[in-house]
Structure 1
């Protein structure tokens, strides 16, 4: 029986592609580096801030990456460019009303999750939140998913993770939870949905 539903943030609960690109361009320039090439932004919203900083600055030295990391709060996040998929907020509310425990499992840092709630709201509906800073090994490692399960007091077979990337799918698989791909038919998994209104029924069918 499914008792808990875990969500990725970027690409699922919000469409942050344009916002993240503008934010990282501003951050990298603020840190004194040249503008990153366009090719680095294609999958940037699936990566952690640390990974993006390393790739976009070309740095491998941890101290230099950390210097830029510590500037994350100095650059204004373009909230106006973030879009919330139709039905997402209503479905979150419905799932809570139906008695499910909800969690967030994301490679965002805590500041990024704070930004998310400023846009999405419903912070009180989420019973567990796991960020990049809460684990030693981020997705695709199963550690973030397993930590969320521990916070919720739920067994792997009682949970489903909804994500949009290969790293989400791998984290779910190795953690032993069900996985539903959101808006990414390219992922080779059994369950794929492109509309939030279909999620409650799909989850119910996992019982």
Structure 2
């Protein structure tokens, strides 16, 4: 609700982002969803505007082996809202846009998916325009028509 986020950024710099990583909470059901995606033979990827902290997040939360590809803002010329990260994932796996479902929670995510021509699921953001909306990992699994969630 702040107009100027500079005090927040200044505070983050003073305490160091690394100290916050262990305090991050994993979304309930994430591991099960990622396992179901793998069992379905689908690619599990991350497209994030994080840069040097993403590796630490994956290690700290034991998620390093849960993703097939991780693309950060430092891996592309233009981070989200540009489509570069999604295009890099598609290129790595020879996918066309309609073979990719991007799950996000920000206008930057929505714009990246729209620019890349991919499907977009808005997560916990009902006001965000999307192909579908979900508020839990179980709902994402249902939307993806994964067998574990659609019995």
Q: Counting helix residues as a fraction of each chain, which structure ranks higher? A: 1
1:37 matched to which residue of 2?
Answer: none
2:149 matched to which residue of 1?
Answer: none
- Once the two structures are TM-superposed, the CA of residue 75 in structure 1 deviates from its matched residue by 6.0
For the pair 1:198 / 2:139, whether they are aligned, the reply is yes
- Residue 110 of structure 2 contacts residue 129 of structure 2 at CA under 8 Å; is this kept in 1? no
**Structure 1 moving runs of 4+ over 6 Å:** none
CA distance in 1, matches of 2:117, 2:10: 34
CA distance in 1, matches of 2:132, 2:103: 10
Aligned length: 139
- Once the two structures are TM-superposed, the CA of residue 127 in structure 1 deviates from its matched residue by 1.6
Q: Give 1:132-143 correspondences, 5 Å limit.
A: 132-143=73-84
Q: Which runs of 5+ in 1 are unaligned?
A: 1-20, 31-73
Q: Give the alignment's TM-score, normalised by structure 2.
A: 0.82
1:102 matched to which residue of 2?
Answer: 44
SS of the equivalent of 2:88 reads helix
Q: 1:158 aligns with which of 93, 99, 110?
A: 99
CA distance in 1, matches of 2:116, 2:87: 6
Q: Which one is further off, 117-126 or 192-201?
A: 117-126
- Once the two structures are TM-superposed, the CA of residue 204 in structure 1 deviates from its matched residue by 2.2
Q: Which runs of 5+ in 2 are unaligned?
A: 1-7, 147-151
Relative to structure 1, is the Cα distance of residues 93 and 120 closer, same or farther in structure 2, using a 3 angstrom cutoff? farther
Alpha carbon RMSD of aligned pairs, Å? 2.1
SS of the equivalent of 1:101 reads coil
Q: 1:177 aligns with which of 99, 103, 118?
A: 118
- Once the two structures are TM-superposed, the CA of residue 189 in structure 1 deviates from its matched residue by 2.1
For the pair 1:85 / 2:27, whether they are aligned, the reply is yes
- Residue 119 of structure 2 contacts residue 131 of structure 2 at CA under 8 Å; is this kept in 1? no
- Once the two structures are TM-superposed, the CA of residue 198 in structure 1 deviates from its matched residue by 1.4
CA distance in 2, matches of 1:190, 1:76: 35
CA distance in 2, matches of 1:187, 1:163: 10
CA distance in 1, matches of 2:107, 2:12: 28
Q: Give 1:53-132 correspondences, 5 Å limit.
A: 76-109=18-51, 111-132=52-73
CA distance in 2, matches of 1:175, 1:105: 12
- Once the two structures are TM-superposed, the CA of residue 97 in structure 1 deviates from its matched residue by 1.4
